[in-house]
A and B are shown apart, each in its own frame.
Chain A
Amino acid sequence: MKETQNNIGAYLKLHWKTAVFLVVLLIGIGLADNFVDSYVRRLLNLCAIYVIVSLAMNLVNGFTGQFSLGQAGFMAIGAYTVAVFTVPIESRAAIFYLEPMVPFLANIELPFIVALILGGLASAVAAFFIGSPCLRLRGDYLAIATLGFSEIIRIIFTNTQSITNGALGIKSIPTISSLWWTYGIAIIIIIATILLINSTYGRAFKSIREDEIAAEAMGVALFKTKMTSFLIGAFFTGIGGGLFAALLGTVDPKQFYFILTYNFLLIIVLGGMGSISGTIIASFVVTLGQEALRFLDEPMAFGLDLPIFRPGLRMVVFSFLLMVIVLFYRKGLMGTNELTWDFIAEKYRVIKKKLSKKKTSTEGGGN
């Protein structure tokens, strides 16, 4: 008993800043949950979902070095699982009016959390089928196969009218609006990812990223390790997709066009491939940025009537941004570094030093 207390004490001593930060964060979420309007709440929820999905993508792409582009497909699986299992039974006839729902699903309604986990599992199962041929091969096959897979998923969901309601999509999914769902799950997934990355598995992931052949020579089971990372990534992405469905209250195949994947790619490239904190920061920057730049799509309301501002400009700016980051700022915001307290302190010292140097040099110039 004494020993555990000592352990906890030592742990707190070491991580007291993080503990304080977590408490502040939780209070912040609690305050936000009670006081922000529905628009801001929705945006904040979206940020958390983007954190989850980008983190999952970074686990596979950034930490394990396997270039997977199936995010939209895995999200779709999670989202549709939640949609199919949580829509109230009495409203199903009204939604599936072209073709009734298949009988074996029509009377099953599950609690949200069960459907969410089921969605994650379903997407992990799909990942197993796509990963087993492609992860055995070296090279870029995974990129094209996963991109193709996300398109297949969309095609399947468009065509299975009696399960997914086809192109019409499923409406009136019970929505979540509390921030606790999304942020709670995001925090759990962040912690899980940090623990995973620093475990034996995590080191194996990184060794594969650095050099597959050397990793294999050192005894890392290549296929099994890649698969582990890929399955965990798919599971988290499925969860993210499920939350996405519950946030919007409606799913249809068009939401999961593979362009959605490029959003997450932009996030992990901006944040730094292989940085958890970078991904979290970039998720907020990109999600809020896309919202803030919405004015680019609107005609200018004042002054000259410039034809430059019209629908589509925002996405041009965003794709241009992706290019600029890759070409000139290859490591992203964080590279493979993490935003730890030591890192912040170090940066702070460097900036302070630079400032004081500037001061002395200008003073010297004055004399």
Chain B
Amino acid sequence: MTMETFLQQLINGLSVGSLYALIAIGYTMVYGILRLINFAHGDIFMMAAYFTYFGIAVFVLPWYVTFIITIGLTMLLGVTIERVAYRPLREAPKTSLLISAIGVSFLLENVATYLFSGKPQAFPEFPLMTTPFFIGGLSFQPVSIVIPIVAFVLMSALLFIINKTKVGMAMRAVAVDYDTAKLMGIKINGVISSTFAIGSALAAVGAILWCMKYPSVLPLMGVVPGLKCFIAAVIGGIGNVKGAVLGGLILGFSEVLMVAFFPALTGYRDAIAFVILIIILLFLPNGLLGKKHVEKV
């Protein structure tokens, strides 16, 4: 492999990895606070892709209006799911909560299949984003550069919110100790709602960028990215935002490079995430940046 193609693959890995990171953050935030694998997160991502598709291809809105509407609707969807499906089970055993999450995921997939049909819809192309440009002997799609930049900006904003704002402090408090935070007068429901809103907004941006890179929308499109991004969050240490970013990047790079170096293994592309997961769990049960979670008796 020449140096040039290798560089190209690295850029590719960076952009795929940043997409994973954006979605993985949604998982890690919810898990940090509720100790729940939000199975529906991948499907929230899918719905966001449909919102964008409808805005641009069906209602022919300008792209900036569509993006704002998409992000708004997706946040609303995330918060509604929490309100309807998770909040009533706050005191229930954790298994019920997990099943509820699976139920929501199953329901969203089926509703999407029913409403939008199971056929993949072609997402309109953004020539501005996909027309390749050349630097030396390398050709890049602008979208591969835009994705990491957008992701980087959003993650910095998120870290600012978590570390410097009042809501962020409340989130950290709830993540450390739910009951004590409640006793200290933190409005738990508000904090959880804002967590879902932020996570869903990131998923919406992820979906928009994803559709620019892979221009096809279908009801089950959220399943595999959803699983992979959850794995990315676990690899990085679940509950840790920086860990989710790290995990996402590791996953993105390993996938792209595996396909580049071993083209014979292309069919196994989706399997590598799980292999990495098993290996990491064997040696570092808490992930790369995760702290040991002490079980209180």
The answer on A and B forming one complex is: yes
A positions within 8 Å CB-CB of B: 61, 65, 67, 69, 130, 133-134, 136-141, 143-145, 147-149, 151-152, 155-156, 158-159, 213, 258-259, 262, 265, 269, 273, 310-313, 315-316, 318-320, 322-323, 326-327, 330
Interface size on B, residues (CB 8 A): 44
Closest 9 CB pairs of A and B: A312-B114, A148-B274, A319-B107, A159-B267, A319-B106, A315-B110, A323-B103, A322-B103, A133-B282
Question: How far, in angstroms, from A318 to B110 measured CA to CA in the complex?
Answer: 9
Q: Please tell me if B88 contacts chain A, counting CB pairs below 8 Å.
A: yes
Q: Which residues of A contact B117 (CB under 8 A)?
A: 312
Contact with A along B83-125 (1 / 0, CB 8 A): 0010011001001101110111011011101100110000000
- Nearest Cβ in chain B — how far from A71, in angstroms? 13
Q: Please tell me if B177 contacts chain A, counting CB pairs below 8 Å.
A: no
Q: Please tell me if B227 contacts chain A, counting CB pairs below 8 Å.
A: yes
Q: Please tell me if B176 contacts chain A, counting CB pairs below 8 Å.
A: no
Q: Are A326 and B96 in contact (CB under 8 A)?
A: yes
Summarize B's interface: helix, strand, loop or mixed.
Answer: helix
CB < 8 Å neighbour of A310 from B111, B114, B227, B285: B114
CB < 8 Å neighbour of B96 from A139, A313, A330: A330
Summarize A's interface: helix, strand, loop or mixed.
Answer: helix
Question: How far, in angstroms, from A66 to B281 measured CA to CA in the complex?
Answer: 17
Q: Are B102 and A265 in contact (CB under 8 A)?
A: yes
Chain A residue with minimal CB distance to B264? A159
Q: Are A133 and B271 in contact (CB under 8 A)?
A: no
Q: Are A155 and B98 in contact (CB under 8 A)?
A: no
Q: Are B114 and A315 in contact (CB under 8 A)?
A: yes
Q: Which residues of A contact B109 (CB under 8 A)?
A: 259, 319
Q: Which of B159-210 contact A (CB under 8 A)?
A: none
B positions within 8 Å CB-CB of A: 35, 37, 85, 88-89, 92, 95-96, 98-100, 102-104, 106-107, 109-111, 113-114, 117-118, 223-224, 227, 230-231, 234, 267-268, 270-271, 273-275, 277-278, 281-282, 285, 293, 295, 297
Q: Are B98 and A143 in contact (CB under 8 A)?
A: yes
The answer to whether residues A145 and B267 also contact, given A312-B110, A323-B104, A330-B96 and a CB cut-off of 8 A, is no
CB < 8 Å neighbour of A156 from B88, B271, B285: B271
Q: Which residues of B contact A149 (CB under 8 A)?
A: 274
Q: Are B92 and A145 in contact (CB under 8 A)?
A: no
Chain A residue with minimal CB distance to B88? A327
Q: Which residues of B contact A69 (CB under 8 A)?
A: 102
- Nearest Cβ in chain B — how far from A257, in angstroms? 9
CB < 8 Å neighbour of B277 from A65, A148, A311: A148
Question: How far, in angstroms, from A313 to B278 measured CA to CA in the complex?
Answer: 37
Chain A residue with minimal CB distance to B269? A155
Chain A residue with minimal CB distance to B106? A319
Q: Are B227 and A148 in contact (CB under 8 A)?
A: yes
Q: Are A144 and B96 in contact (CB under 8 A)?
A: no
Question: How far, in angstroms, from A289 to B277 measured CA to CA in the complex?
Answer: 38
- Nearest Cβ in chain B — how far from A309, in angstroms? 11
Q: Are A158 and B106 in contact (CB under 8 A)?
A: no
The answer to whether residues A144 and B103 also contact, given A155-B268, A326-B96, A327-B88 and a CB cut-off of 8 A, is no
Q: Which residues of A contact B282 (CB under 8 A)?
A: 133
The answer to whether residues A67 and B234 also contact, given A315-B114, A323-B107 and a CB cut-off of 8 A, is no
Q: Which residues of B contact A141 (CB under 8 A)?
A: 234, 281, 285
Q: Which residues of B contact A152 (CB under 8 A)?
A: 271, 274-275
Chain A residue with minimal CB distance to B296? A213
Chain A residue with minimal CB distance to B223? A258
Q: Are B230 and A144 in contact (CB under 8 A)?
A: yes
